[in-house]
Amino acid sequence: MRQIVLDTETTGLNPRTGDRIIEIGCVELLNRRLTGNNFHRYINPEHDSEEGALAVHGLTTAFLSDKPKFAEIFEELREYICGAQVIIHNAPFDLSFLDAEYKRLGKGPFSADIAGVIDTLVRAKEMYLGRRNSLNALCDRYGISNAHRALHGALLDSELLAEVYLAMTRGQNSFSIDHGGNHNDSDSESAALELLPLAEILVRTARAEELAEHELVLNGLDKDAKGNCIWRHSPVEPAKN
């Protein structure tokens, strides 16, 4: 499956009052693997950023003045995202701006070009009810370093979100084994597995560096649990009759 993790930066919070997209960053995942086939463009919005927005992204009008307008990158963006499932944190915000840009060009909506949207903010709220679920909070929760995120940037935020999404959905990988062949064969359902003798069980002890990494994971779980996580507790001895 082809997935695109997408983020935008904008001149403000409301496309209905004329705010525009000034940066788009996309990261490609193919079968849950980062491919390096990213898409990143700065855009001249022909519109000054609000003071609050400028403090967040730091992209000044002067910096953006020689960048292409959205109409000039539209076809390239459309070709890149076409048919993919798109992953966004707080999707209604980015989609409202993308739809507004499409509408200016007589196109759209954005959703017509893609296979669907996953909103990681919605998923995070379902998983961590009542807790902070900003991108920074999720990075902390999953042990993803965002120390280099002094300002918001569309490509950087997409890269961080891709790591967060993979961590959030780590348990969704399929463990089924496909042995190939035609599953409609008449003998496939009735075929018995050959029983083989058990091989010798080998026990491998963890190396010092593996134990250290395990301790870091437990420390992270302790932090989330605000105390000792369940893996710190000693097993309960069964009661004797």
CATH number for 45: 3.30.420.10
User: Residue 172: pLDDT above 80?
Assistant: no
Say how far apart CA 30 and CA 28 lie, in whole Å. 7
Instruction: Return phi, psi of residue 102, to 5°.
Output: -60, -45
User: Residue 215: pLDDT above 90?
Assistant: no
In a domain, 182, yes or no: no
Say how far apart CA 101 and CA 147 lie, in whole Å. 32
Q: Three-state DSSP class for 137?
A: helix
What would the pLDDT profile of 105-164 be if each residue is shown by its tens digit?
Answer: 999 899 999 999 999 999 999 999 999 999 999 999 999 988 766 567 899 999 999 999
Closest by alpha carbon to 74, among 115, 50, 103? 103
User: Is 152 a residue of the active site?
Assistant: yes
If one counts every other C-beta atom within 10 angstroms of the C-beta of residue 163, the result is: 19
In a domain, 195, yes or no: no
* Catalytic residue (one of 47, 89, 152, 233): 152
In a domain, 113, yes or no: yes
Say how far apart CA 237 and CA 241 lie, in whole Å. 12
Question: Residue 120 is part of which domain span?
Answer: 2-170
In a domain, 235, yes or no: no
Question: How far are the Cα atoms of 15, 92, 96, 104 from residue 18, in angstroms, in the given order?
Answer: 5, 17, 12, 11
Total domains, the chain = 1
In a domain, 76, yes or no: yes
